Each structure stands twice: as structure tokens, then as C-alpha cells.
Amino acid sequence: MCEKNPGHDNFLSPQEFLDTFITRLESEEKYELYKSLIDFTVRLRMHCTSLDRPDDDAFADYRGTPRMRMGTGFIRRVQQLKQSEPCCCDECHGKVPMNQLGLEVHTARHIVFNMEEAKRTKVDLFYDDDSCLSNGRMKSVWVMGMFESQSDKEWCNMWCVTCDDGLG
């Protein structure tokens, strides 16, 4: 059962999906491919809803509130960055990092509407279920900004930066 939407009766965790469907239907090579695609799927936690959302928007009632909403996204690109200036990520506290990763995250525009919402969004990597919170597998990074958005096509791309050596 999906906790976010009780109407999602057939919700499966990533591991249940792999165990139930992929192992029966596909080769080991495809199993590993699906497993890696699951690792690139991220949970998004938005900590604000923009006043700029239109009246007919699904989240119009939340405009101007800090009520947390959740959605999903997909890591489209990972880039090793060369940094010569102080870092703005949570781990560095203004130091110049040795290694830094940039993550491009793709999501639906109804999930993250504009730059205001993007900058108040946290990306949870390796979140498969609530056990990831206690076992330390899940890593979180803040979105730095939205660099591309297509309202007519209902998608946007955001940029995150981290210096967490465990992600490289």
C-alpha cells in the first residue's frame, strides 16, 4: 500500500518489484539494468509551495505554505566538478572541497513548479523504503536551482551539488 496515496493499492517497493517481476521475466543482465535504474530514481521533498501556482493547480490550496509535499524524480546526469571556490553544500560549510559531484535531476513540473520551490527541495538518493532512514543508505542533498523548465511539456531539470565521498 502506498502511504502517499491510499488509492495506489498495488504499490511495490523497489525490492519487491525486482523480486516479484524482474527475476521471473528477465535475464541477469536486465535484472542489473533495472536495479541500476531504480538507484537513479529519487524521492523529492518540497518544503514550500509557490504563490505563483495557478488557481487550477492541484496544489493551489497549499500556496504560500511550508507544508511538505513529496514526489519522484530521476537523475539524468552525474558530473565530477572541479571546484576552486568555497562550496555551498551542507557537508562543506564553506570550505573548498577536494571532490564535488553535480547531479542533474529531472521531474514533472507539477511536482516542482518554479525556482522558488526548487531551492526548497531536498533530493533523497537511495530511498527504497523507510528502513533506508535508519540504516544510513539514504543520502540527501538540497537542490541548488532549476535551470530548465517546459510548462507546455510538464517537466523541469534541477541541479544539486554534493561533496559526499560516498556518492562518487
Contact 168, 100 (CB under 8 A): no
Identify the residue with better confidence: 8 or 125.
125
List the one residue out of 138, 139, 136, 141 whose CA is nearest residue 158.
141
Contact 121, 44 (CB under 8 A): yes
Give Cβ neighbours of residue 72 (< 8 Å, ≥ 6 apart).
41, 42, 43, 44, 107, 111
Identify the residue with better confidence: 89 or 64.
64
Determine the residue type at 63. R
For residue 64, the 8-state DSSP code is T
pLDDT tens figures, 3-50: 555 555 666 777 777 777 766 656 778 778 888 888 899 999 999 999
Mean pLDDT within 138-151: 88
Q: Classify 40-167 by CATH class.
A: mainly beta
Q: How far apart are CA 74 and CA 105, in angstroms?
A: 6
Q: How far apart are CA 153 and CA 150, in angstroms?
A: 5
> Computed from CA positions of residues 164, 99, 143, 89, in that sequence, does the dihedral angle turn out positive or negative?
positive
Is the predicted pLDDT of residue 98 greater than 70, yes or no?
A: no
Q: Residues for the chain: how many in total?
A: 168
The model's confidence at residue 1, banded by pLDDT at 50, 70 and 90, is: very low
What is the pTM assigned to this prediction? 0.81
Contact 149, 137 (CB under 8 A): no
